[in-house]
Amino acid sequence: MINVKKSTGDKIIDGFLYLILLGIVVITLYPFWTQVIISLDGGGADSAAYSSGIILLPTQFSFESYKLAFKFDALWLGYWNTILRTMLGVILSIFFTSITAYPLAKRDLPFNRTFTSFVLFTMLFAGGTIPSYLLIKELQLLNTIWSLVIPGMISAFNVLIMRNFFRSIPEELEDSARVDGAGYVRIFTQIVIPISKPVLATIALWVGVGHWNAWFDSLIYISDPNKQVLQIVLRKIIIQNSMADINSVIQNIGKTTEFSGRQLQATVVMFSIIPMLIVYPFIQKYFVKGVMVGAVKG
């Protein structure tokens, strides 16, 4: 802000501020830290997984539970299905959202208001869970990856954000191309898309994280265990605490004693959030940009 010499009072307040914010950081990270510790602890019956109270460090390091989880086929299958749906979902969403948003960005497109209202009304009213379920069933999409990818493919909110971004592109740019004889398709693919990378990347990230974390659609539309996404596998182990699943993993490996269900659960949690934790610091600022774009209405 401004360069004014800080008084002692200011410094004390600053100190408190740093302390409070540091406290918030610790509180936010601690729950994740407990999972790290429990998953890494190899202390057997004395391990953090059994000890009570506040855990700061493992009694002794061990990657045994990770080795165990590595051999858990359902986990890898879940990973694969999640990666597949995320890639497919992002590609389809970006493609269809952009070809929808571009025409709507043209203010004098005939029936623009009609089309826009048609899209936006879906933000206000929805048929609900049961009619959607019956529709997917009627279309024979149950137990296919399409039931996870298509229903949310063109989100009205993303159309709105992309449309506003396209509108912010100077018209002269397109006009000059038109003078040179370029049609809309050419302008769209060779001018508009390349300079819209920021908004495309932001929306791709939003859609991608949405798919990565999605579970409810898989819960209701997919009954084939080989097609379940990672989050559903996690749900079985973590939430439903399915001892059958946990025991089958442990038995598969031929180990019986050293592992508590909780340790395996923590490891499974780590398995799902490690990819997120690795990419998160790099992509975080793009998400924020997207929120800012979304907050400014055009």
Partner 1 sequence: MSSRRARSVEKKKKIKQYRVLLIMLIPAMIYYIIFHYLPMYGVLLAFKDFKITEGILGSPWAGLRHFEKIMNDTYFFTVLKNTIIISLYKLVFGFPVPIIFALLLSEISNVKFKKMVQTVSYLPHFISWVVLAGIFFTLFSLDGPINGIVKMFGGDPMLFLADDRYFRTILVVTSIFQGFGWGSIIYFAAISSIDPQLYEAAVLDGASRFKRMVYISIPMLAPVIAIMLILSMSGILDAGFDQIFNMYNVKVYNVSDIIDTYVYRKGLIEMNYSYATAVGLFKSVVALILIVIVNQTVKWIGGKEHAIW
**Binders of partner 1 among 91-150, rule CB under 8 A?**
96, 99-100, 102-104, 106, 108-110, 115, 117-120, 122-135, 138-139, 150
**Binders of partner 1 among 52-81, rule CB under 8 A?**
52-55
Identify the bridge partners of residue 41 per DSSP, sorted by sequence position.
61
Displacement of CA 150 from its chain's centroid (Å): 17
Identify the bridge partners of residue 8 per DSSP, sorted by sequence position.
none
Listed in sequence order, the residues at least 6 apart from 210 whose beta carbon sits closer than 8 Å to its beta carbon are: 89, 152
Quick note: the x/- pattern for partner 1 over 240-269, rule CB under 8 A, is ----------------------x--xx--x
Give whichever of 8 and 125 is closer to partner 1, judged by the CB atom: 125
Give whichever of 250 and 268 is closer to partner 1, judged by the CB atom: 268
Judge contact between 270 and 39, C-beta under 8 A: yes
Q: Applying CB under 8 A, which of residues 5, 8, 31, 224 lies at the interface with partner 1? A: 31
Q: What is the 3-state secondary structure (H, E, C) of 186-237?
A: HHHHHHHHHHCHHHHHHHHHHHHHHHHHCCHHHHHHCCCHHHCCHHHHHHHH
Tell me: does residue 38 bind partner 1 (CB under 8 A).
yes
**Binders of partner 1 among 199-238, rule CB under 8 A?**
209, 212-216, 220, 231, 234-235, 238
Q: Segment contacting partner 1 (CB under 8 A): 61-69, 164-172, 243-251, 287-295?
A: 287-295
Q: What is the DSSP letter of 243?
A: H
Give whichever of 11 and 71 is closer to partner 1, judged by the CB atom: 11
